[in-house]
Chains A and B, each alone.
Chain A
Amino acid sequence: MHLSETVNTGFYFLAPWLVLAPVAGLLINAVFGRQLSEKMIGAVASLASGAAFVVSVLLAYSVWISHGHPVSVPFAEWIHIGDLKLDWTFRVDSLSTTMMLVVSGVGTLIHIYAIGYMHEDVRFKRQEGRFARFFVYLNLFIAAMMILVSGDSYLMLFVGWEGVGLCSFLLIGFWFEMDTLARPSWANSDAAKKAFITNRVGDFGFLIAGFLMFWYLGNSFQFDKVFEAAPAVAEATPWVVVAITLFMLLGVAGKSAQIPLYIWLPDAMAGPTPVSALIHAATMVTAGVYLVARSAPIYTLVPQAQYIVAMVGAGTALFAATIAVGQYDIKKVLAYSTISQLGFMVAAVGMGAFVAGMFHLVTHAFFKALLFLSAGSVILGLERGHHAHGHHGHGDGHSLRGKRKEGRTHGGHEDHGEVFDPGDMRNMGGLRKTMPVTFWLYMIGTLALAGIFPFAGFWSKDEILVDASLHYPSVYWQLTVAAFFTAFYMGRQVWMVFFGEARSDAAKSAQESPKVMTLPLVVLAVLSVVGGALNIPSIKEIGLKGPHQLTHWLSYTLGEVESLPLNLGVAGISTALALLAIFISWLIYGRNPLKTGQVDPLKRPLGFIFTGMENKWFVDEGYGVLIITPFRRISQFLADVIDWRFWHDFVHDTVIAGTYNWLSRIVLDRYADQKGIDTFFNSWGSFTQWLSGNVRQIQNGFVRSYALSVLLGVVLILGYLILK
């Protein structure tokens, strides 16, 4: 077969180690986690992830030397029913290796960062025993994500899809018995459940899409077979393909946090910051983008669906960007920013600009991971400052156990009048001086996200905007406005966090993070700066013929893709808008830094608009009124009226138990048992008594009468014998 000879010329046989390496890491940590030191645990987990990265690099190299020839590496038989064969096969091509590189590369850096971050986090929360568990989950995530991106069928993709959903749930609820301020509460586990349940709605869409696909497109889940069957079906019954793509869009909306299912992602910030960076910014949430890009041959068949996808993405990009403007939590701003940037990607892949979408996915993974991890560094810096400064004031305010005890005796932590929130930007300010390394890293991430030349975000965002300006003007305008807001809220954040005066004692005595945390950030920062070089476009105006490396690379998988040159107009407008936005944000937040306790200066001029932004446009409340309350009412009705009163009280208690009781008491007990069976046996008893009473008369005790009986008996027997 063709396969075997290609396998011989590359490193394809290593593909299963993408999954096996992290699984080995998680097994080691799960079994020996209690015995190992924190450094060992972190090293094992990082090495496991790093091994996956090495494998990814080797696979990408193999694809490169074979000129992008896609290879399927069979690994395990899974389900064989008659002719139906569903196997676990790895698909190695340029698209999947791109994802593998991002996932394992960024993942490894975040693993290393997490060694430092979790070291302190578990101590602030007084739960040192959970250190190993965190890395077990993290490795499990890498394994699941690898299954997702390396599967050669929608089924394996779905296995990974669910796996990362599980890891997301586990990690959002990592501090499940406290809220983000470490007070005893179920807020974090509620956030985890919200993420899981919202994703379930999306997964329902994915499942329906999968079923339809299996039924109508070639009775297979395999990418190649589905794509082969799709064009004929699109010709004959286009609604099928439209339905598949739109149901798939629902799955994408769930996993990649798009309207209407994005609501879980901001709450997911309850997880430790490395989780927010790895899962909820860089990798898992981009799975939806990958899914659309992977399904490119289906999506391109139905322009109507593509248009809807693009509109959803663009709408999300703009909508989430406006909410980010009104947030105060450093991670919440980044969360809405992530939703917004995912909107860019979804819009891109919706428009058919798959390369632009994937390009933005890669660069976004760099700079958003950088931003999140830097934000984690800021939060820990404040936490350190808080502890260094206020050790006597707050006691062991961050000990959960201590607080519970305290809560019983004198009313808990809240009685102290304030709970220090190290993630609230209103508590920050002036961190430029106390945390210089983090500050510079954050600046790089900010400029990359805002799309300032020549940082990575500029190139990838611009590619999307160019494509949109050519094909979908409405998407273009929405994305451009979103880009303006992006630069604005990032500017606001930087001014609030790093400039001005410290607005809390903790911010005043904040401390820089250790090297184990900052070094991975430096790597990410470098990537955020030079990431744009992955896909250098042509610039006609100066006669530059760009190599379009990523376009070329992905065209191995996606087919020939149009490589658009840089449009100086589009790039100029977006850069100008970004600079303008940063300037405006300086006017508002930079020139007159926020004072302690001051209301956001935007609140007065914008009025209710800012209130909307602050409160996420009341979407959660709207869902509460529209879906959750009716849902609860229906469940209440079903539980109370249908199940309890009708089913339990009436059907079971009255009808079934009542009939049974009546039957047993009246019919069986009184008539059958008492009258029938009892009478019969009692009669036998009294008959026997009567008989024995009579018979005992014979036994009178006189030997002579016995002798007479014997004689008579003998006479009778003899008489019978003689007369016979």
Chain B
Amino acid sequence: MVPVDYYIALSAILFTIGALGVLSRRNPLIIFMSIELMLNAANLAFVAFARVYQTFSGQIFVFFVIAVAAAEVAVGLALIVEIFKTRKNINIDEMNSLKG
């Protein structure tokens, strides 16, 4: 049986890759994918610990995360489409209207 440490390590690696992707990429689609990567890293950690502790709550949590992530993607993609419609551009570096 694969020890839990490996799952955790894989989860951490995936999360780090996702985080770096969010921070470094300019394409919002890629950023979305990176976010999905981070969520799934977390999901991996959840199920790994659920298995270690022999409980279902971690696995149930994962279902919630997947559902929320799906909803999030739906909203996010809609936003991106709208932004593109108005600005003809989805370069993340040009979106600073939140500037104080």
Contact = CB atoms under 8 A, between A and B. Distances in A.
A691 interface: no
Given A704-B23, A711-B19, A699 B100 contact: yes
B22 A707 contact: yes
B54 interface: no
A704 B22 contact: yes
A701 interface: yes
B96 interface: yes
Contacts of B22: 704, 707
B92 to A, nearest CB: 7
B99 A703 contact: no
Nearest to A708: B23
A702 B97 contact: no
Contacts of B99: 699-701
A707 B100 contact: no
A707 B22 CA distance: 8
Nearest to A695: B100
Contacts of A699: 98-100
Interface in B42-100: 92-93, 95-100
Contacts of B100: 696, 699, 701
Given A707-B22, A711-B19, A701 B92 contact: no
A704 B92 contact: yes
A404 B96 CA distance: 92
Interface in B22-52: 22-23
A9 B23 CA distance: 125
B37 to A, nearest CB: 14
Nearest to B94: A702
A702 B19 CA distance: 16
A701 B23 contact: no
A708 B19 CA distance: 9
Contacts of A708: 23
A703 B23 contact: no
Given A702-B93, A703-B92, A711 B98 contact: no
B57 to A, nearest CB: 23
B16 to A, nearest CB: 10
B19 A703 contact: no
B96 A702 contact: yes
Contacts of A701: 95-100
Interface in A668-724: 696, 699-704, 707-708, 711
A702 B98 CA distance: 7
A61 B96 CA distance: 120
A701 B99 CA distance: 4
A704 to B, nearest CB: 6
A698 to B, nearest CB: 8
Contacts of B97: 701
A700 B96 CA distance: 7
A707 to B, nearest CB: 6
Contacts of B96: 700-702
Contacts of A696: 100
Contacts of A703: 92, 95, 98
Contacts of A707: 22-23
B21 to A, nearest CB: 11
B11 to A, nearest CB: 15
Contacts of A700: 96, 99
B93 A711 contact: no
A108 B51 CA distance: 127
B95 A711 contact: no
A699 B97 CA distance: 11
Contacts of B92: 702-704
Contacts of A711: 19, 23
Contacts of A704: 22-23, 92
Nearest to A698: B100
A715 to B, nearest CB: 10
A702 B97 CA distance: 8
A700 B100 CA distance: 7
Contacts of B93: 702
Nearest to A700: B99
A692 to B, nearest CB: 10
A657 B19 CA distance: 76
A689 to B, nearest CB: 15
A705 to B, nearest CB: 9
Nearest to B25: A704
B64 to A, nearest CB: 21
A717 to B, nearest CB: 15
Interface string B1-26: 00000000000000000010011000
A699 B99 CA distance: 6
B100 to A, nearest CB: 3
Interface string A561-599: 000000000000000000000000000000000000000
A92 to B, nearest CB: 103
Nearest to B100: A699
A700 B99 CA distance: 5
A554 B22 CA distance: 130
Nearest to B99: A701
A249 to B, nearest CB: 100
Given A702-B96, A703-B98, A708-B23, 19 more contacts: A696-B100, A699-B98, A699-B100, A700-B96, A700-B99, A701-B95, A701-B96, A701-B97, A701-B98, A701-B99, A701-B100, A702-B92, A702-B93, A702-B98, A703-B95, A704-B22, A704-B23, A704-B92, A711-B23
25 contacts: A696-B100, A699-B98, A699-B99, A699-B100, A700-B96, A700-B99, A701-B96, A701-B97, A701-B98, A701-B99, A701-B100, A702-B93, A702-B95, A702-B96, A702-B98, A703-B92, A703-B95, A703-B98, A704-B22, A704-B23, A704-B92, A707-B22, A707-B23, A708-B23, A711-B19
Interface of A: 696, 699-704, 707-708, 711
Top 6 A-B residue pairs of the complex, sorted by shortest distance between their CB atoms: A701-B99, A701-B96, A699-B100, A701-B98, A696-B100, A702-B96
